[in-house]
A = this chain, B = another copy of it.
Amino acid sequence: MPYPLLPMSTPYPQLRTLQREAATLASVNHLLNWDQETYMPHAAGDFRSDQQSLVAGMVHERKTSPRLGELIAACEADTALDARAKASVREMRRDFDRETKLPRSLVEELSKTQSQSQEVWKEARAKNDFALFAPWLEKVMGLTRRKAECYGVPTFAGGVKGELYDALLDEYEPGMSAREIESIFTPLRARLAGLVAAIAQSRNKPDRKVLELKFSQEQHTRFCRSVLEAMQFDLNAGRLDVATHPFCSGFAPGDTRLTFRWKTDNLLEPLYCVMHEAGHGLYEQGLPKSEHFGEPLGEAISLGIHESQSRMWENFVGRSRAFWTWALPHAKQAYAPSLDSLTTDTMFRVVNIVQPSFIRVEADEATYNLHVMLRFAIERALISQQLAVKDLPEVWNSTFKEFVGIDVPDDRRGCLQDVHWSFGLVGYFPTYTLGNLYAAQMWETINGHLPDLDDQLARGQFGALKHWLNQNVHAHGREFSASELCRKITGKPLSADPLLRHLEGKLKPIYGL
């Protein structure tokens, strides 16, 4: 490759150039993925994987090149770098070590096993047949443990040794430990389960009639775009399209693409899809990519912090009474005349319905966290081998009953529902609830800084909130870790209290508790 082999006297600019080039190539793969999910003709599918694996191979080659390792080492020895550059090099080292720690044979075995296992999982879920999937899950979990061993068990502040699971968690939530998550989840679960149970007994339930109406794609798109514009998502530097699985891809400077899905008989799904993905999108647009694309300083901190941005817009803004004060007239216009007789109060109540159910992706704002905690407990026990794969269904069902309070009817609606474990995605689930927790804790701080935020939201003025997030979260890139950022912003370590205050404060009055 024609890398200019400049003298080592200027390693940092050279390092930035290599990083940017690898990221430029990776961004091409992100476009291939986006296209595949949105506009690619059906018949192009087979060849698309050839394109993707070719480009992915070239990205991997760059991210693990010996030259990159030399430059990182040279920068670590460069005492002239300023604090932000030092933080950037620290994160590059972290990425490089992770990229180079897995032996090629393991990567290949994982990759092959993952795609086979995912196929078997699909079949097993369709047939409600856990026994079919069990040997594959066993195999994938074995490989995932080997992967974790290659990364190595991390050591945390105060020299505390972690556990094998932490090596996996570290990929999605760097610096976080299973023990810390447990210490936050435990009090959250107790009070949340109580709240959900109390709500189930309430006689003062929201009126669900509006959820039975039918709407067109045009109506959904009109309403969603008006919300997107109010959120100040920059459509000159992004897009909104339809896809089966909604996602946000912030893959290049000036190029952040959102997708959503819609059904005729679901008023709320498109809106909350769009607000969720636009929350991710505002983070991507707020990162300093024009200066730092491809460098840690232009990248998101962690999945938990990313999720805090989407959940904040989806739940803290989008399910507030203030939001609906502004949004209902817009919704009435877009969906005319279906919503004409609705009041703000009815909408506020209906978007906050809490109703325990079996499927995580359909869960309400409160119950959702119980689903996540269940998965965290189980995957942690699978990795530590305190739980054997063969016992998974039984443990799932009894834990689900304990956490959520209802009996799982079958594995299809139980331990077979999620795709994650079928390809060894372990350590990812807890970041969903970490996102809610970070969001809740930041939300209290933000309301301290912007005392009239509620009035602003009720007028559809979301600019001050967006600006606050830009300055306090987005602008830093990966300069700070998630827990550093949490302390910097809120003055405290992450805790369950703000999320509980938020949920109880909103839901108890709605359900007359």
- Closest Cβ of chain B to A100, distance in Å, is 16
Q: Does A86 contact B (CB under 8 A)?
A: no
Contact (Cβ within 8 A) B55 A253 = no
Q: Is the CB of A254 within 8 A of B51?
A: no
**Min C-beta distance of A446 to chain B, whole Å:** 27
* Contacting pair B55 A236 (CB below 8 A): no
State which residues 245-267 of A face B: CB under 8 Å.
252-257
A107 to chain B, nearest CB (A): 14
Q: Give the interface segment out of A33-41, A338-346, A363-371, A422-430.
A: A33-41
A51-B24 CB under 8 A given contacts A31-B31, A254-B44: yes
A interface, size bucket: 35 or more
Residues in chain B near residue A24, CB distance under 8 A: 47, 50-51, 54
Known: A21-B54, A28-B51, A58-B58. A41 touches B253 (CB 8 A): no
Q: How far, in angstroms, from A35 to B257 measured CA to CA in the complex? A: 13
- Taking the complex as formed, is A234 at the interface, i.e. its CB lies under 8 A from any CB of chain B? yes
Given A24-B54, A28-B28, A39-B39, A47 and B252 contact (CB-CB distance below 8 Å): yes
Residues from 266 to 307 in A contacting B, C-beta threshold 8 Å: 293
Q: Does A122 contact B (CB under 8 A)?
A: no
A464 interface residue, CB < 8 Å from B? no
A27 to B39 CA separation, bound complex (whole angstroms): 16
Residues of B with C-beta under 8 A to A252 = 44, 47-48, 51
Check A225 for interface membership: any CB of B closer than 8 A: no
Q: Which residues of chain B are within 8 angstroms of A28 by Cβ–Cβ distance?
A: 28, 32, 51, 54-55
- Give 1 or 0 for each of A9-29: 1 = CB within 8 Å of chain B CB: 000000000000100110110
In the complex the two chains form, is A239's CB within 8 Å of B41's CB? yes
Closest 5 CB pairs of A and B: A43-B254, A43-B237, A44-B255, A44-B254, A47-B253
The contact sample of 26 A-B pairs, CB cut-off 8 A, is A21-B54, A24-B47, A24-B51, A25-B54, A28-B28, A28-B51, A28-B54, A31-B31, A31-B32, A31-B35, A40-B255, A41-B235, A41-B236, A41-B238, A41-B257, A42-B237, A42-B254, A43-B237, A43-B253, A43-B254, A44-B254, A44-B255, A45-B254, A47-B252, A48-B255, A51-B252
> A residues touching B (Cβ–Cβ < 8 Å)?
2, 21, 24-25, 27-28, 31-32, 35, 39-48, 50-51, 54-55, 58, 61, 234-239, 241, 252-257, 293
